[in-house]
Amino acid sequence: MSNDSNDGHTQVESRLIPHAYFLLVLVVLTAGLRDWQVSHTEVAARDSIGFIRYAWNLDQSSDWKKVFREGHQHPGFPVAIHLFSLPARFFWPEDLPRAYQLSAQFTASFFSVLLVFPLYFLGKEFFNRWQAFWIVALFQILPATSKVLGDGLSESMFLSFATAGLLFAVQGYGRPGIRCWFLSGLFSGAAYLVRPEGLVVAAASSLLLLGRGVWWRDKEVRQHSFRALAATLAGTVILAAPFMLVIGKITSKPTGNIILNQATVGVMESEIPNYAANPNGQGETVALASWWSGGDGTQVQRILWASFALADAYVKGLNYFGLLLALAGLALSGPLFRRDPRLIILVLVFFLLNIALFRVAKVMGYLSERHALFGILIAMLWIPPGAANLGRGIRILLRKNGHDISGLERIIPAVALLALALPSLAKSMETLHYNREGFKQAGQWLSEHIQPGDPVEDPFCWSHFYAGKVFLEGKQNLPHSKPRLKYVVVERSKNPHVRLQTQKEEDLLKMAGQVVFSWDAKKTKSQLSVVVYSVPVPGG
């Protein structure tokens, strides 16, 4: 009995140790890259400031339900920032902007490390250990994904939950029990608490199980499918329903509500609320994105543009060469699709997700790689197999010409993957928002030179944040300048920022405005400068 037990333990160890080595390397790589990015960040991401505001409101309020109802984001990530901010504020009690910026980035970094585990095992469900390793490594390294994961944004938390939900759905398919399906629904509900598209995993699983339950010939399969469907929905509802009941709708995000409330597609750009322009807002801002600029346009024009924007998100998200490798992986995967029906879950999730993304692009007139990260993650599963197919294809071609080089099938995939990874790693290690230092300097100057009650108008949000104004919003009877002044932040650059409600300097001068702070770029090629005007408040 003892020998059998030891033999079994040894067999388990032999299976787990290779995984442990791969996972350890991936965790160290991810944590090291996130640490580098946190320490090389010039300013917080604009969307991160919205999450920080939400987290601060949670800290200041005893009525979290009210904060949830008034927020323009789902609460998962702000709640996590709030929890991370408790120790951060202990170390930086007098510098709330710094404490909360680090809290947001530490939160995002923590979940990007957690993402290693479900993504690795999802890859391992279909491919070998080395390919699963490369799937995770590339997702953590490629610039479009890496820079988001380390930037104090909700995507890493969302992806860790959504990928776990997808993993359990894949594992549940074909198994007799329903535990995996319940866990899939639970993680889908958790992902929904971060971003509304978290429900995509539960929706895809439910469609698949419903179809099996209705059309499958085998009675036992039909019965199991309905039990699995009930388990999936139960897991999702446990976490998603309470938030829906609190806010009285499916989502609190303005974009989601506009799309859901549109009976027909095609909102004019002028009708879209510009939350980015309001420093007191909590809406989503998309700085690096494809923007519709054709006014009303025809339905055909908007369809074509939305299709292009969606394709562009994947081309850039997979870093061009990665897309070619992914297509090579898919092109020769027919036998795998026939052999492993679980891939239908990935196909359904990818399909539903891209329908939603297409609608965002068509209705709202913008789309970025950030929106498509979950789809990019699924597409990235095929990059290492694509590299392997490339190696096999080249060897077959050489054989036909009388050349057979031993080990070529291993060398070429490694070279292809390194050719994709190494330049991407260098790009991902660039300072985040390196050309926005002037806004931070302006904010810090404002925090030292103006009164707490003096308003700061900053369409870019950064100076407003670093002046500490986010943490004074809603407070009454704060001391102010006499006579009353307001401070307006202006960027001088070639970019007109047509989607931000910026003020022209000539208008500020007409209002007796004076430049009280200026900053000229030294490190960047953008030739921009940031100035702050003090402007008398009428009647002050």
- Mean pLDDT, to the nearest integer, of 425-454? 94
| CB neighbour class for 367 (10 Å; exposed up to 12, middle 13-18, buried from 19) | buried
Checking if the pLDDT of 522 tops 80, the result is no
Q: How much of the chain exceeds pLDDT 70, in percent?
A: 87
pTM of the model: 0.89
pLDDT, one tens digit per residue, over 309-365 is 999 999 999 999 999 999 999 987 777 777 888 999 999 999 999 999 999 988 888
Residue 213 pLDDT grade (very low, low, confident, very high; cuts 50, 70, 90): confident
CB contact at 8 A, 78 and 123: no
> What is the per-residue pLDDT for 265?
42
Reading phi first (left if > 0) and then psi (alpha if -120 to 50, else beta), residue 525 is in alpha
Q: How much of the chain exceeds pLDDT 90, in percent?
A: 67
Three-state DSSP at 516 gives strand
Q: How far apart are CA 289 and CA 291, in angstroms?
A: 6
**Which residue stretches of 40-95 are H helix?**
46-60, 64-70, 76-91
> What is the per-residue pLDDT for 7?
41
> What is the per-residue pLDDT for 292?
61
> What is the per-residue pLDDT for 214?
87
Pairing, β 366-367 against β 514-520: unpaired
Question: Highest mean pLDDT range out of 200-209, 383-392, 517-526?
Answer: 200-209
DSSP per-residue codes, 450-495 = S-TTS-EE-TTSHHHHHTTGGGGTT--S----SS-EEEEEEEESS-
Under DSSP, the state recorded for 432 is B
Pairing, β 456-457 against β 485-492: parallel
Please count the other Cβ atoms lying within 10 Å of the Cβ belonging to residue 509: 13
Checking if the pLDDT of 282 tops 80, the result is no
> What is the per-residue pLDDT for 270?
39
The Cα-based distances of 62 to 59, 67, 90, 352 in angstroms read 8, 9, 21, 38
> What is the per-residue pLDDT for 261?
75
User: By C-alpha distance, which of 239, 39, 54, 29 is closest to 142?
Assistant: 29
Please count the other Cβ atoms lying within 10 Å of the Cβ belonging to residue 495: 9
pLDDT, one tens digit per residue, over 30-45 is 999 999 999 999 999 9
Please, what sign has the CA dihedral across residues 213, 208, 166, 104?
negative
Q: What are the residues whose beta carbons fall under 8 Å from the beta carbon of 157, sequence distance 6 or more?
A: 76, 77, 80, 107, 108, 111, 194
Three-state DSSP at 221 gives helix
> What is the per-residue pLDDT for 281?
43
Checking if the pLDDT of 495 tops 90, the result is no
Residue 498 pLDDT grade (very low, low, confident, very high; cuts 50, 70, 90): low
> What is the per-residue pLDDT for 513?
93
- What angle in degrees, to the nearest 10, is found between the helix axes of 96-126 and 155-172? 20
User: By C-alpha distance, which of 354, 366, 356, 355 is closest to 294?
Assistant: 366
More confident residue, 110 or 538: 110
Checking if the pLDDT of 464 tops 60, the result is yes
Please confirm whether the linkage preceding 483 is cis (ω < 30° from 0): yes
Checking if the pLDDT of 230 tops 70, the result is yes
Please count the other Cβ atoms lying within 10 Å of the Cβ belonging to residue 257: 15
User: By C-alpha distance, which of 133, 52, 131 is closest to 85?
Assistant: 52
Checking if the pLDDT of 423 tops 90, the result is yes
- Mean pLDDT, to the nearest integer, of 230-237? 98
> What is the per-residue pLDDT for 414?
93
Q: What are phi and psi of 516, to 5 degrees?
A: -115, -10
> What is the per-residue pLDDT for 82?
98
> What is the per-residue pLDDT for 104?
98
Checking if the pLDDT of 466 tops 80, the result is yes
Checking if the pLDDT of 57 tops 60, the result is yes
Task: Say which range, 111-125, 245-259, 452-466, has the weakest mean pLDDT.
Answer: 245-259
